[in-house]
Amino acid sequence: MKCPQCAHEDTKVLESRLSLEGRSVRRRRSCPQCAYRFTTYEKEEEFVFHVQKKDGRIEPYQRAKLNRSIEVACQKRPITPDDIDSLIMKIERRLQDEGTRTVSSQALGSLVLAHLNDLDKVAYVRFASVYKEFKDPQEFVNELQSMS
């Protein structure tokens, strides 16, 4: 790491600390040339991907938007915000592991359904009713029967 003061190319790490839930490292450094002390941060590269909508439009993925739609399905259920955050993190991690840069909204919805099915059956049906665009009560019945 170059010293920001004198541009000497070899600086010494004095101390390292984990921060941001272990996803970032803070390092205190010192330059042996000019004795200047400074701090650097290393963090995991943010995973950025896009969502392709049913009509073909491509939008940047918005975690908050996915979070809201899952929260609606989980209202008045014994599901904590941490549960929802964990579910979303699992989905994001899976997409990252696959190296996906653009995911269809259908595939994203299917991943949410798979995780909600494990978490809470009522939340699963609520999310499915919107995601699968149920038109009548029989579609609810069919979905419930397919879960058995």
The answer as to whether 3 is a domain residue is no
The answer as to whether 7 is a domain residue is no
Into how many domains does the chain fold?
2
**Are residues 19 and 65 part of one domain?**
no
State both tokens at 21.
Answer: 């839930």
Rounded to the nearest angstrom, the gap between the alpha carbon of residue 100 and the centroid of all alpha carbons in its chain is: 13
pTM: 0.66
Per residue in 101-143, pLDDT (tens digit) is: 999 999 999 999 999 999 999 998 889 888 777 788 787 778 7
Per residue in 57-111, pLDDT (tens digit) is: 999 999 999 999 999 999 999 999 999 999 999 999 899 899 889 999 999 999 9
The answer as to whether 70 is a domain residue is yes
**Are residues 60 and 102 part of one domain?**
yes
Query: Exposed, middle or buried, 76 (CB in 10 Å: 0-12/13-18/19+)?
Result: exposed
Of 49, 44, 45, 46, whose CA–CA distance to 100 is shortest?
49
Separation between Cα atoms, residue 55 and residue 109, nearest integer Å: 15
* Enclosing domain of residue 98: 50-147
**Are residues 97 and 30 part of one domain?**
no
